Amino acid sequence: MTEPRKRSIRISGHATSLTLEEPFWRDLRTLAKKRGLSLNALVSGIDAGRGGNLSSALRLFIRDCYRSGELGSHG
C-alpha cells in the first residue's frame, strides 16, 4: 500500500484536510466522475451519513462500491 497523502477539500463549504492513500483518492475521483459529481460533493455526501472518522468512512464507502460492482471489472 502507498503512503497516505493529505489533501485539502471543502465539505459543505468548510475547508478541511483528509489523509488517504493514493489508490483511495483515485477511486474517489473515479466515483465522482461516474456519478457526475465533484469530488467535494461526493465526499460531502459521504460525510453527511457517516458515524465515525471521515477517512475510515471513505475507505468503507469505496470497499462497498467494489462489492456492489460500481468499481472494478464489473463497474
pLDDT for the residue numbered 75: 42
Question: In which residue are the cell numbers 467494489 written?
Answer: 66
Residue 48 structural domain: 4-68
User: Is 16 inside a domain boundary?
Assistant: yes
pLDDT for the residue numbered 1: 57
User: Is 74 inside a domain boundary?
Assistant: no
User: Is 27 inside a domain boundary?
Assistant: yes
pLDDT for the residue numbered 45: 94
Domain of 32: which CATH number?
Answer: 1.10.3990.20
Indicate the number of domains in the chain: 1
Per-residue pLDDT of the chain (75 residues; tens, 9 = 90+): 578 899 999 988 899 999 999 999 999 999 999 999 999 999 999 999 888 899 999 999 999 999 999 998 654
User: Is 44 inside a domain boundary?
Assistant: yes
Instruction: Give the list of residues 6+ apart from residue 31 with CB closer than 8 angstroms, or none.
Output: 42, 62, 65, 70, 71
Residue percentage of the chain with pLDDT more than 70: 95
User: Is 73 inside a domain boundary?
Assistant: no
User: Is 29 inside a domain boundary?
Assistant: yes
User: Is 39 inside a domain boundary?
Assistant: yes
- Put simply, whether the predicted model's pTM sits higher than 0.85 gets the answer yes
User: Is 23 inside a domain boundary?
Assistant: yes
